[in-house]
Chains A and B, each alone.
Chain A
């Protein structure tokens, strides 16, 4: 009895998902443009300069469907991550030392072109895979007491992304969720800290138009 109930529930869930994916979305059928505005949560995974995850970022993206499923467009993202460095004495070379605590910041702002392949464009749930690339501006900064030291850098950015636009009601906007990985070639130095390459993992939640 227990097994039957379990199977029935599973079957019901599969049917519900399939139904949701094949439901027609009245807002979608004739549209050739898309855009997303998102809040994002970013986890730096390669640099130790400022590697605390944070939600201080946004993503803006828009594009045009060249075919039924494939769209090309542009994007701009920005994000700030921080890290507190407790007070310590840093050797600044052969004959000098600096004693201070610090607040590190990495501000990343990539922008460029985005390619997106969307499945089930007629449905309420529209999953997609995407690839974004372009230049990335990044600022490395340390604040210590009343002082500041920074380095403005540029690099090449690439980011695969998976996500989904959800249109649960008749008219737009809908909901957008996504997960991404990104890598940028930015290099920079602040005080005695060096950064060579920036990798991130992140999540986005926003509005789909």
Chain B
């Protein structure tokens, strides 16, 4: 066994000779990943409710929201795209067919294990089901999401508020958009990256329309 050690060390040294690709060629725009419920009929919905804030998933164990002008620019991009797809924003969530919740992963400090899908549901103060209505059974994801999250990510979930409510009923998620990437030192650039990513999320989700 001792004789193997130098050999293994040599192999390790050689594998470290792998030449990484030139990262400077990458455009540095956000990676945009979307999922949706194939059985959903998006044409049956007309209205949506979107809070005027973005939930921050950070290092605090209580709810924290992002509400400044930069957050508003990002929210406005959602509104612009939802309106373009034929949905009308309403100010009373009881009247809405759809609910749109946006979260920003500031860091993953609170978590020790976030490798499994939907880990963010466990975040203290995350958009909880009672915020939207009486779905005692919790969330329902009709599809599998398979990705990991990192600092600087946006998570968007579109909820079916027309779903039957009740103590054992679950609130279905119809669409998820995950946008993530390395941030720059400029806030303006980061907001621009985020708004571009939101537009791209809609662009690659052509099914999300009631037209």
- Chain A interface residues (CB < 8 Å from chain B): 54, 56, 58, 76, 78, 80, 82, 84, 87, 89, 92, 94-105, 107, 109, 137, 139, 143-147
Inter-chain contact A80/B18, CB cutoff 8 Å = yes
Q: Looking at the complex, which one of B15, B21, B26, B33 makes contact with A109 (CB distance below 8 Å)?
A: B15
Choose the segment among B35-43, B67-75, B80-88, B104-112 that binds chain A (4+ C-beta atoms closer than 8 Å): B35-43
Q: How many angstroms from the CA of A180 to the CA of B23 in the assembled complex?
A: 30
Instruction: Please name all residues of chain B whose beta carbon is closer than 8 Å to the beta carbon of A101 when the two chains form the complex.
Output: 26-27, 29
B181 contacts partner chain A, Cβ-Cβ < 8 Å: yes
Instruction: Please name all residues of chain A whose beta carbon is closer than 8 Å to the beta carbon of B23 when the two chains form the complex.
Output: 103, 143
Given contacts A84-B25, A103-B22, A105-B18, contact A145 B33 (CB under 8 A): no
Inter-chain contact B204/A97, CB cutoff 8 Å = yes
11 CB-based A-B contacts, threshold 8 Å: A78-B18, A84-B21, A96-B36, A97-B204, A98-B33, A99-B31, A105-B19, A105-B21, A109-B15, A143-B21, A145-B180
Inter-chain contact B21/A82, CB cutoff 8 Å = yes
Give the most central of B17, B27, B36: most A CB within 10 Å. B17
Inter-chain contact B14/A103, CB cutoff 8 Å = no
Write the chain A residue with the least CB distance to B143. Answer: A95
Q: How many angstroms from the CA of A101 to the CA of B35 in the assembled complex?
A: 19
Inter-chain contact A80/B19, CB cutoff 8 Å = yes
Inter-chain contact A94/B28, CB cutoff 8 Å = no
Q: How many angstroms from the CA of A98 to the CA of B23 in the assembled complex?
A: 19
B182 contacts partner chain A, Cβ-Cβ < 8 Å: yes
Instruction: Please name all residues of chain B whose beta carbon is closer than 8 Å to the beta carbon of A94 when the two chains form the complex.
Output: 38
Q: Looking at the complex, which one of A56, A58, A105, A145 makes contact with B26 (CB distance below 8 Å)?
A: A145
B57 contacts partner chain A, Cβ-Cβ < 8 Å: no
B190 contacts partner chain A, Cβ-Cβ < 8 Å: no
Which 10 residue pairs across A and B have the least CB separation, nearest first? A103-B21, A80-B19, A56-B19, A99-B32, A145-B181, A107-B18, A82-B21, A96-B35, A100-B31, A97-B204
Q: How many angstroms from the CA of A38 to the CA of B143 in the assembled complex?
A: 52
Give 1 or 0 for each of B125-153: 1 = CB within 8 Å of chain A CB.
Answer: 00000000000000000010100001000
Given A80-B18, A84-B21, A95-B36, 7 more A-B residue pairs with CB atoms under 8 Å apart are A95-B35, A95-B37, A96-B35, A99-B33, A103-B23, A137-B15, A143-B20
